[in-house]
Structure 1
């Protein structure tokens, strides 16, 4: 990729964000991809994905801007968090996936407001409708991206969930009915010890039943991101760029 890579930090809505692109100075992107990190990661955790995805699909360097928000909460063990999780859950105890899938996690509504403010600020400052914005993220960031994507006033261009899972199911299922046809990229590890694969498959099945278009990938990996996943994600994003 021979374009000049630009990386800046700025406040968008309620959150500090890292912005990465290779667009000409002053250019308006055709698509903005907002990727949110997972629990306990620093705000910069996913930033290297921007250049990697651009290298895999040159059209992303030519027409896309990447935005990486930092979650609103300082996490007790380092990094940032979108919403807190009990210590027992983090130790691998009391992981009641039925309850987690059903209930709205404490703190999610506040995090939702913060991430929605980023989407609104991106739309306003970059003069793009929601339909030219992709939301996505890893783990807890994927949960937040899903929650926001289902609640915005208009559909977005696509949703990318990396090692995410189902939560708030009654609300999500009801709102998913209004997102028929939404393109979803979903990837998960078969050996994920934190969010088991069946929880991701349950989210996928809910989307499919609601009429969303899901591109699902399972990889031989733990709670992580692998190169094959990035290649598939880059292709998914390139397809969103080429859509009218």
Structure 2
């Protein structure tokens, strides 16, 4: 980080409480904001560790970027996870691991997706206003369910974001996503997925990649030999992807 120290504050942006991390000089405005949404069942702070790791991989990310980690709006206390959060609830049969029909999941819009989308869009709008950043200088992304909701948002914003990072995400809302993606030709996407993912299957990630590339988005797809996790080589490629977004699209 070139001697810079990362600072972390909690603040409300739009509808959501967020952890904000940067190593910018006092009073310095970011040139890029990166919004990363955690996965289903994780605490709101689950991905915060990614910011200093990414900053340590490339000094430009410490010098010019602000990282924002929104906490999902729904609690999972009723499922015995008092600190667990969710962007949208899953059917009980899925929670109990009785039903995992990925073809159906890929086609249908999850019942809670519209509300989750509005919440994340409110964060993007608040960020853009408070930091004086156009949407093209805001990168969206997330892990697992966080990757689903940010994909949905990235395809629906009034203007294209600076990029999209899908970390172990999957395809859902396919008819809507295909329609919306046609207006996002050239959008830079970084997508990574473990070949041995037993939560969201690798084949569904390939299907998502094909939907996006078929619509003309520019997808950098990284398969890795691992489960439902964030791999070290994924961090290196993600850092490279974000530095490229600093240089403009």
- Give your verdict on TM over 0.5: yes
The equivalent residue for 1:155 is 160
Q: Report 1:205-244 matches (<5 A).
A: 205-243=210-248
The equivalent residue for 1:107 is 112
Q: In the TM superposition, what whole-angstrom CA distance separates every residue of 1:139-163 from its partner, at most 9, and x where no partner exists? A: 0000000000000000011000000
The equivalent residue for 2:42 is 41
- SS, match of residue 206 in structure 2: helix
Matched, 1:52 2:53: yes
RMSD: 0.8
Q: TM-score, normalised by structure 2?
A: 0.96
Distance in 1 of aligned mates of 2:50 and 2:17: 18
The equivalent residue for 1:11 is 12
The equivalent residue for 1:97 is 102
- SS, match of residue 135 in structure 1: strand
Q: Report 1:76-91 matches (<5 A).
A: 76-78=79-81, 79-91=84-96
Number of positions where the alignment pairs a residue of Structure 1 with one of Structure 2: 244
Structure 1: which 5+ runs fail to align? none
- SS, match of residue 224 in structure 1: coil
Distance in 1 of aligned mates of 2:52 and 2:17: 20
Distance in 2 of aligned mates of 1:77 and 1:40: 10
Q: TM-score, normalised by structure 1?
A: 0.98
- SS, match of residue 181 in structure 1: coil
Matched, 1:202 2:202: no
